[in-house]
Structure 1
Amino acid sequence: MNAQPPRIHSATFDPIPRDATPLVVFDLDGTLVDTAPDLTGALNYCLAEAGLPSLDVDAVRPHAGRGARAILQLGFSAAGITADETCLTNQLPRFLDRYNAHIADASMPFSGAVDALERLRGAGFKLAICTNKMEALARRLLVELQIAGYFSAICGSDTFAGRKPDPVHLLGTVSLAGGSAPVSIMVGDTDTDMEAARRAGLRSVLVDFGYDPCPAAHEKADLVVSRFSEIDASTLLRLIETVSAD
């Protein structure tokens, strides 16, 4: 956890409404759930169909939150092949069908994630999902893992006209969850998540154990944590209530 106090970009925030229920919006892949094993399985299925060598999950994990096209491009690139638009168009349905059928074979919440959801819900927080995964896949994954019931809204890349870092995605999620932006926090693992929070005027928490906690993400985050035990009601309420200059 950062030794320094949370850094709040106060100029972007409206006053906190009285009696507003705090909301925590979570990214999904690489934040709440380690989905890399099943994404790797779908990729390797496509690679095998194309007569190409498979990839190890450790090679895929840093790219697992970037979407199916990026994962396919990674697999073909590793075999020395540039996947053009025709190739991706042909492979994408195969990848998605395979992934949908095996979405929770090996994927599981990160250590402490479900306990954190329980703590926050018990403390009166609302919870939501804002992911660049397609909404139907996100819902299916959460249902399979038996944690869908924690969330007041589950919003994917196709739920709104834009996707993270477009603020319409995050602000739309806040609205559907019945939240208010001044008392909402984005928790994610990438610069895309932190930039979405910045553009939408939300406080942000970066989990540095995720797929792509790059230097830019660290710089934009209001708080950085290394385990879910660091995400509790008192910490997040202080983050909401603290308005200080950088």
Structure 2
Amino acid sequence: MNAIDNKPVKAVLFDLDGTLLDTAPDLGAALNYLCRQYQQPEISAETYTPIASHGSRGLLNLAFAEQMAVADGAQAKHLREQFLSYYNDNIAHATQPFKGVAELLQALKEATVEVAIVTNKPELLTTRLLPYFRDLHAISVVVSGDTLDVSKPHPEPLLHAAQQLGVAADCCVYVGDAERDIEAGRNAGMVTVLAGYGYISDQDQPQRWGADYTIETPLELLKILSIDDLGRDSSAIE
């Protein structure tokens, strides 16, 4: 039985950036392209990586805080359009799945656990990115940031994915690396797992987010689900 505390788990829903894929290098490259265009100092990977889950606005704030302060201003809009255009054209130059993701997805498949992606990434970028990664091709249910009228931390995108899978929300686990992921999962009535290996900054306080579990590698999820790395049932959680 795939279970947590003897409760059946029929599906695992994943965030994308910082959970399945390490997209920070390409997002950072887009940011530094704009820095060069506007004669701003480039931002180090050490600085931009923890912010990568916050999307274009969070990243642009690192170098263009004054311009981004007026969120609906012309400058902020233009910067975001330039960022997204460069990122769209260079979306998978350095992006890679986190180590262990391929094995995790295979084990879930063998254990007959359904899988979906729920991300705040715009659908245009999500659908452009996913085909580059063969291990993600089998994931047919993908809910992006603009699939619905609301996005995370609202629980509806998670509930929509569960509905598409035909699985009750209380039989789902949601895995993500941001506070909004844990909030959305809790509000959807799902077991929440914090991807501690993802994009978490020193200013974040993940211990206050209320995740049910934290994993430091993707494959640690199998232990939580009482599945071994070959997709066979294993002993209960220690």
User: What is the Cα-based RMSD across aligned positions, in Å?
Assistant: 2.2
Match of 2:140 among 152, 156, 177: 152
Aligned residue identity for 1:226: E
Is 1:110–2:82 an aligned residue pair?
no
Deviations 1:164-204 (A, max 9, x none): 01011111121123322121110011111110011111011
- 2:53 alignment partner in structure 1: 65
TM-score (norm 1): 0.82
Deviations 1:139-164 (A, max 9, x none): 22121122332313111110011100
Aligned residue identity for 1:228: P
Match of 2:217 among 207, 227, 240: 227
Counterpart mapping for 1:189-200 below 5 A: 189-200=177-188
SS in structure 2 at match of 1:157 = coil
Partners of 2:179 and 2:209 within 8 A in 1: no
- 2:11 alignment partner in structure 1: 23
SS in structure 1 at match of 2:145 = coil
TM-score (norm 2): 0.85
SS in structure 2 at match of 1:220 = coil
Number of matched residues? 219
Q: Give, in angstroms, the shift of residue 219 of structure 1.
A: 4.5
Identity of aligned pairs, percent? 35
Match of 1:137 among 125, 130, 140: 125
Gaps of 5+ in 1: 1-5, 8-15, 239-246
The 1:224–1:21 alpha-carbon spacing in structure 2 relative to 1, beyond 3 Å, is closer
Gaps of 5+ in 2: 228-238
Is 1:93–2:74 an aligned residue pair?
no
- 1:11 alignment partner in structure 2: none
Q: Distance in 2 between matches of 1:103 and 1:217?
A: 32
Aligned residue identity for 1:224: T
Deviations 1:29-50 (A, max 9, x none): 1111111100011111112222
